[in-house]
Amino acid sequence: MKQVTVVYWSGTGNTELMAKAVAEGAKGAGATVKLLSVEDASPEEVLAADAIALGCPAMGDEVLEESFMDPFVEALEGQGIEGTALALFGSYDWGDGRWMREWEERLSEHKAKVVGTLIIHNTPDEEGLVECRTLGEKLAAQ
């Protein structure tokens, strides 16, 4: 059985809702799932999974959250994420998703296998939650 770990940072709760739906989708597809706030996650534990979903909203000028998520991603990169199946997701209030494109590019440069990204404006509605579950299913199939 595949092990999928979903790690997220959420300031308003929107990305947390997305994370829970991604985890539901992966579990529904037959994976064993761990759902962790980034503050409670260790890079070693996360890298032991078969596939990883990372969630973070756009912050400031469309960047990753800088106190927890960005250092965590740096730690993953430093320990080697080459070939790791990853999904990226997050919510935003304004902008065009530049933070997500840059995040995907950054991880791809480290040879991670980014299998999907998803951004949702503000609070996910039911359609958005379905998209999150679908992303989790896709990740579990890797």
- Measured CA to CA, the distance from residue 78 to residue 43 in angstroms comes to 10
Q: Which residues of 110-137 are buried (b: 16+ CB within 10 A; e: fewer)?
A: eebebbbbbbbeeebeeebbebbbbbbb
Q: Which stretches in the chain have pLDDT values below 50?
A: none
Q: Where are the domains of the chain?
A: 3-140
* Pairing relationship of beta strands 85-92 and 51-55 according to DSSP bridges: parallel
Q: Is residue 54 within 8 Å of 22, Cβ to Cβ?
A: no
User: Given this model, what pLDDT does residue 1 score?
Assistant: 82
User: Given this model, what pLDDT does residue 87 score?
Assistant: 98
Domain 3-140 has CATH 3.40.50.360: yes
User: Given this model, what pLDDT does residue 78 score?
Assistant: 92
